[in-house]
Structure 1
């Protein structure tokens, strides 16, 4: 078995090697492109779906510095199978910006989707660095407040194997591989690690959407980060469930999510259905 340092770097390197270099390109045929800013990366793809269906807004990973909204893998079929509208968003990337600006873009994408699909429940789905950004937008109200929204306007949040929910936590291990990971975090967070850590942004008195948090079984770094975020949300009166994904790697949890036989995708589908019904009841009551 590879040394833990090497395994963590392989998680990063494998993901980055598979990421397309082009960003801001036109969407696939039949997909509506929504722009929410002047930058080429301030854009998202809205896949065909019923105007009234719940929206699953996907935030890709890539170490905050790479990635592209086309990295949807099985999600288009998954959304169709479960009666959802899929949206996949780009966002500005490091080193041009820090994770703060990336999170601002995710919040702006939420607002763009709300304008395009008024009244439809919106749920965030993020993988890796995208899981961190989804969690940050859903826990720190400043991002959605800039769009005249609140975290409570989200119907739910599904996170896939994030390990940056508390960026102040030292990365384990030593040597050049660990230094490479530290450089990645320094580039994404700069001197704002605490301010950009979702776990540390959770506050009593705020209303948060329910969270379903997956981590790869045996990947202790993401497991510990996932448990700590869930604990913070629960202490603040929120709802959060942490689920270990057996047999998955950091990459396969993402690429396999939503396949017909994928246990994590189906568990998330039940969560999404429950939160959509909750949002409908809340809307009806108001």
Structure 2
């Protein structure tokens, strides 16, 4: 697959543009130290299955014994990506007294986003069973942000495992896509590629699988912290739309632009010492969402 197409499928609408100076420096430093995969050198302590498919598995890193659990949901256009791609998160969790888990989920085209979101919900339920009484925060990037948002707003997913959205302590989203998947794509090549990606992930269920459209008044939602790359207008519009829907429904949502990041660096650099998005998220977690 050509690099430009891979970038498009990940939602990197500005991939061809120069990164801001700070983002370039952050990315160059991380690639030199760790390579380009985004995988951490820290190995998980345990892996747990929550279903028969090999992708129905999450990794648990060093358990802090108490305090919040941060469950990471990777991106990859709903069709690829790995739970090992945790980048800075193990060190971030250790620094802030968090227990890190990272889940995989079944992927398109074998399943659609509904089954992927059910897997995320099942991972939440298994974590709450193994580590009872501790707050669980979801952290998702790109397609993983979409799935995290869907689990956080639509009671069908956590309801399938005996929970409800308000059982989450909070949801943190990094430059997500398709919060409203019914928004028409542009007519250029990038829009066509994104349309193909959405078709694989959503089929004819785009409205039903759009978190923004699933928000309803009268429900109790976890607090949301929604980051988006400042120079991606599509991401800004999608993030603000979700935040506004939650606020109108009586929920709490903070929508925060990331001015010095790209779609890749907001994820790869999240949680590095001094990273503004990671530090803001740490305050959000410490405050209970």
Aligned match of 1:284: none
* Equivalence for 2:195: 182
Distance 1:97 1:6, change over 3 A: closer
What is the deviation of 1:175?
2.8
Counterpart of 2:177 in structure 1 is 163
Task: Name the CA distance, whole Å, in 1 between partners of 2:55 and 2:146.
Answer: 18
Q: Distance in 2 between matches of 1:10 and 1:269?
A: 26
1:176 Cα offset (Å): 2.8
Provide the C-alpha distance between the structure 1 equivalents of 2:241 and 2:265, rounded to a whole number of angstroms: 23
Query: Please, what TM-score do these two structures have when normalized by structure 1?
Result: 0.87
Task: Establish whether residue 88 from structure 1 lines up as the match of residue 102 from structure 2.
Answer: yes
The answer as to 2:221 corresponding to 1:208 is yes
Structure with the larger RCO, 1 or 2 (CA within 8 Å, 6+ apart)? 2
Q: Is the 8 A contact 2:58 2:83 kept in 1?
A: yes
Three-state SS of the structure 1 residue aligned to 2:173 is strand
- Give the alignment's TM-score, normalised by structure 2: 0.86
Structure 1, unaligned stretches of length 5 or more? 21-26, 277-286
| 1:125 match | 139
Partner of 1:50: 64
2:232 paired residue among 219, 227, 242? 219
Aligned equivalent of 2:251: 238
Relative distance call for 1:270 and 1:28 in structure 2 (3 A) is: closer
User: Structure 2 stretches of 5 or more lacking a match?
Assistant: 16-35
- The size of the alignment, in residue pairs, is 262
Partners in 2 of 1:10 and 1:149 — Cα distance?
30
Deviation, structure 1 residue 174: 1.8
- 1:24 corresponds to: none
User: Partner of 1:250: helix, strand, or coil?
Assistant: coil
C-alpha deviations, 1:148-167, integer Å up to 9, x for none? 00001000000000121000
Runs of 4+ in 1 over 2 A off after TM superposition: 5-14, 27-30
Counterpart-to-counterpart distance in 2, 1:206 and 1:177: 36
Aligned to 1:38: 52
Q: Bigger CA drift: 30-39 or 104-113?
A: 30-39
Taking the aligned partners of 1:29 and 1:98, their CA distance within structure 2 comes to 30
Partner of 1:66: 80
- Note the aligned Cα RMSD (angstroms): 2.1
| Aligned CA distance change for structure 1 residues 137 and 10 (closer, same or farther; 3 Å) | closer
Say whether the 8 Å CA contact 2:9–2:77 is kept in structure 1.
no
Q: Does the 8 Å CA contact 2:44/2:60 hold for their aligned counterparts?
A: no
Provide the secondary structure at the position in 1 that maps to 2:264: helix
Q: Structure 1 pair 109/80, CA: closer, same or farther in 2 (3 Å)?
A: same
For the residue of structure 2 that corresponds to 1:73, the secondary structure is coil
Where 2:228 maps in the other structure, the secondary structure is: strand
C-alpha contact (below 8 Å) 2:12/2:263 kept by paired residues? no
Which residue of the partner structure matches residue 111 of structure 1? 125
